[in-house]
Amino acid sequence: MIRAARRFLRSGPAAVVGSVILLVVLGAAIGAPLLAPNDPLDIVSMPFVWPGDDATVPLGTDMLGRDIYSGIVHGARVSLEIGFLAGIVTTIVGLIIGAAAGYFGGWIDQTVMRISELFQIMPSLLLTIAIVAVMGSSISNIVFGIAVTGWPQVARLVRAETFRIRSGDFVQAARVMGFAHSRILFRHVLPNVLAPAVVMVSIVAGSAILTESALAFLGLGNPNLVTWGSMIGAGREVLRSEWYMTAIPGAAIFITVLGLSLVGNGLNGLLNPRRNVAA
Amino acid sequence: MTQPQADAGPDAGGRTLARLLRSFPRPPYWLYRVLQIVPVVFLIITINFFLLRLAPGDIADVMAGEAGAYSVEFTEKLRQDFGLDRPLLTQYVTYVGKVLQLDLGWSHRNAQTVLSLVLERLSATAVLVLTAIFIAAVLGSALGTIAALTRSRFVDSLISAIATMGFATPLFWLGLMLIVVFSVQLQWLPSSGMYEIGSRATGWDAVTERIRHLALPVACLAAYYLAIYTRLMRTNVSELKHQDFVRTARAKGASPARTVFRHILPNAMLGLITLTGLQFGALFSGSVTIEAVFGWPGLGQLALSAVTARDYNLLLGILFISSLFVLLVNLVTDLSYAWLDPRVELSQ
């Protein structure tokens, strides 16, 4: 474990930078009430204070005098929560479906592949928008909407991996010993395709954070939550003069997603040393 | 490894049938490929159908409330329109039948059929998306080829750095920042719409006006795909560079330029065609936020107005038509791939 961690850190500065970014964002999300005692919805100062003009509001205030720094710190909670939930749910669904398709092959595989092609064709953001618009914009519905469009990506990868190990000696041996399909699938196949799936969690989490911010920016998020996307949406109204209100939350999204993909690349190099980084 | 076949040995009738089928000429690839889209269209319709049923409560209640006329008769009328009083299977069959006749319903909010509304806006989105992918493909191929041929470490790391950052940037935010720089600070380009309000420009002026309005949204959308194309082209060219036919071309005395343009590039471009098809759905997604940022009057904007008005008929109609559009683009790219590279047909 320690040796693996050391190898991960030595795999290049990118992975280290990524981990540091993620730790900082995670710290902000967990310690939000301590780090930013102001409620992000409270009016704490004059409106339109530029960043750096007033030490009590280091990142300035918006058009209502709400603290932008508070919004960024508290927004990290929502982004990370949705990112990780969506990443884990999507990966688990994709992992099970992909492994089943690869293991059983035949018509099961054919059906799964056709369905996953379908999700590549339907514009995913439109589908997510439709799901959230119809079902309501709670966090669980947003995660559902992201998972529905995201699982095929994971399933394809896992299916290809499963194909590779399906004819391996240990799977054959398990079959000869008369184990049930479910047992072979969960005890022998899944553990061996777990590594690429773990990498997918960080990639899916990154794109989930982007999707959530797009939804919030378009006004489809939860109106009672301050998120990075909704802050950009609000800042847009005064883009021509107070552009910092848009620039700051966008930079937060960019840095977080960048951190996730750097860590993903690092993990990929660690867990799948033989393969190149998937784009 | 031999596995026991589930259907152990076809019976005599099956064998005759198989022989009969074999006596016909093999159907051409394009027919096979066209027929493949039939089940996909059905699946899209099915997903649309069940999406409507995800709504909490009854869709008729929601729509009646939002249409602003909440009488019992109106709700009943809506229920009948949707066939909510009939069994689920009947509802489904009716829905599929209607959609297959391109009857996507009526938009109460806009007092217009959904189909005409969607078709009106499709061209604006198509212009945006097609221009973006064209620019990304051309520039990306050029950059990727240069990167592969120079084999420069610096260019390589630059490309992967840009690609990594591109994947992490929210497109709508990039658009807003481009507006701040190019429209507000430098005042070079307009920030919104397809043309000036009340514009009477004709001829050449109208064209430049369009291009000026297209510039920022297209740049934004193309930036993301530029990285993808550059990466793929770099891989393709650096693999092809060492192939035997390239060495032969050099050996028979073809100039380096001719080797690149006549022997390497045509082969390297093949991969781009498939990628274009695959990325098209994602491109449509990207255009939703881009349209919102730049006030571009396309399908994405229409979808957002449908969400605000809770016009689900319209929203699902947009989803259906844009999926169909992506499906057709995929069909065209696959067929052109098969036309350019006949080996594809044989492997089917």
- pLDDT (tens digit per residue) in A143-180: 999 999 889 888 988 888 888 888 778 888 888 888 88
Minimal-distance CA residue of chain B relative to A128: B285
- ipTM field: 0.84
Residue B104 confidence (pLDDT): 75
Report the CATH fold assignment for B120-302: MetI-like fold (1.10.3720)
pLDDT band, very low/low/confident/very high, at B52 (cuts 50, 70, 90): confident
Query: What token pair was written down for B132?
Result: 């973006």
Across chain B, mean pLDDT equals 79
3-state class of B154 per DSSP?
helix
Residue entry with tokens 């078709």: B119
A232 neighbors A219 (Cβ within 8 angstroms): no
Query: Is the dihedral angle over the CA atoms B338, B344, B345, B348 positive or is it negative?
Result: negative
C-alpha of B320 from chain center: 12
Phi, psi of A270 (to 5 degrees): -80, -45
Mean pLDDT for B288-294 is: 89
Report field, pTM of the whole predicted structure over 0.90: no
Mean pLDDT for B189-204 is: 69
Q: Which residue has the higher pLDDT, A53 or B307?
A: B307
Q: Do A126 and B288 touch (CB under 8 A)?
A: yes
Minimal-distance CA residue of chain A relative to B42: A118
Residue B66 confidence (pLDDT): 60
Q: Please give, rounded to a whole number of angstroms, the shortest distance from the CA of A121 to a CA of chain B.
A: 5
Which element (helix H / strand E) includes B107?
Answer: strand B106-107
SS3 per residue for A157-196: HHHHHHHHHHCCHHHHHHHHCCCCHHHHHHHHHHHHHHHH
Taking Cα atoms as reference points, which of A10, A25, A6 lies closest to residue A206? A25
* Residues in B touching A121 (Cβ below 8 Å): 40, 44, 281, 323, 326-327, 330
pLDDT of B206 > 90? The answer is no
Residue A254 confidence (pLDDT): 93
pLDDT of B8 > 70? The answer is no
pLDDT of B144 > 80? The answer is yes
Residue entry with tokens 């072979």: A184
Q: Do A253 and B323 touch (CB under 8 A)?
A: no
* Residues in A touching B39 (Cβ below 8 Å): 114
pLDDT of A139 > 80? The answer is yes
Between CA A159 and CA B323 the distance in angstroms is 25
Minimal-distance CA residue of chain A relative to B318: A126
Residue B200 confidence (pLDDT): 66
Across chain A, mean pLDDT equals 83
Residue entry with tokens 């750095």: B161
* Residues in A touching B285 (Cβ below 8 Å): 123-126
Mean pLDDT for B62-82 is: 68
Q: Do A123 and B319 touch (CB under 8 A)?
A: yes
A146 neighbors A86 (Cβ within 8 angstroms): yes
Residue B164 confidence (pLDDT): 82
Q: Do B326 and A123 touch (CB under 8 A)?
A: yes
* Residues in A touching B278 (Cβ below 8 Å): 120
Angle made by CA atoms A224, A229, A232, in degrees to the nearest 5: 105
Minimal-distance CA residue of chain A relative to B165: A258
Q: What is the CATH number of domain A2-278?
A: 1.10.3720.10
Half-sphere exposure of residue B288: CA atoms within 13 angstroms, side-chain side? 30
Half-sphere exposure of residue B297: CA atoms within 13 angstroms, side-chain side? 9
Residue B7 confidence (pLDDT): 45
Q: Do A134 and B179 touch (CB under 8 A)?
A: no
Q: Please give, rounded to a whole number of angstroms, the shortest distance from the CA of B50 to a CA of chain A.
A: 10
pLDDT of A250 > 60? The answer is yes
Query: What token pair was written down for A241?
Result: 């003069």
pLDDT of A227 > 70? The answer is yes
Q: Do A133 and B54 touch (CB under 8 A)?
A: no
As to burial, measured by CB atoms within 10 angstroms (0-12 exposed, 13-18 middle, 19+ buried), residue A39 is: middle
pLDDT band, very low/low/confident/very high, at A278 (cuts 50, 70, 90): very low
Contacts of B324 (CB under 8 A, 6+ apart): B41, B44
* Residues in B touching A260 (Cβ below 8 Å): 168
Q: Do B307 and A243 touch (CB under 8 A)?
A: no
Residue entry with tokens 């945006």: B128
* Residues in B touching A172 (Cβ below 8 Å): 1
pLDDT of B2 > 60? The answer is no
- pLDDT (tens digit per residue) in A233-248: 888 887 777 888 888 8
pLDDT of A70 > 50? The answer is yes
Query: What token pair was written down for B163?
Result: 């690609």
Inform me whether the C-beta atom of residue B47 falls under 8 Å from chain A C-beta atoms.
yes
pLDDT of A256 > 70? The answer is yes
Between CA A115 and CA B118 the distance in angstroms is 25
pLDDT band, very low/low/confident/very high, at B166 (cuts 50, 70, 90): confident
Q: Which of B167, B180, B311 to mutate to test the interface with A (most CBs of A within 10 A)?
A: B167
Mean pLDDT for A125-153 is: 89
Residue A160 confidence (pLDDT): 86
pLDDT band, very low/low/confident/very high, at B38 (cuts 50, 70, 90): confident
Percent of chain B with pLDDT over 70: 85
pLDDT of B26 > 80? The answer is no
* Residues in A touching B333 (Cβ below 8 Å): none
Residue A184 confidence (pLDDT): 85
* Residues in A touching B168 (Cβ below 8 Å): 206, 210, 254-255, 257-258, 260-261
C-alpha of B8 from chain center: 43
Residue B201 confidence (pLDDT): 65
Mean pLDDT for B232-260 is: 84
Percent of chain B with pLDDT over 90: 1
For B244, other C-beta atoms within 10 Å of its C-beta total 7
Which amino acid makes up residue B116?
S
Residue B314 confidence (pLDDT): 86
CA distances from A118 to A122, A126, B200, B223 (A): 6, 14, 44, 26
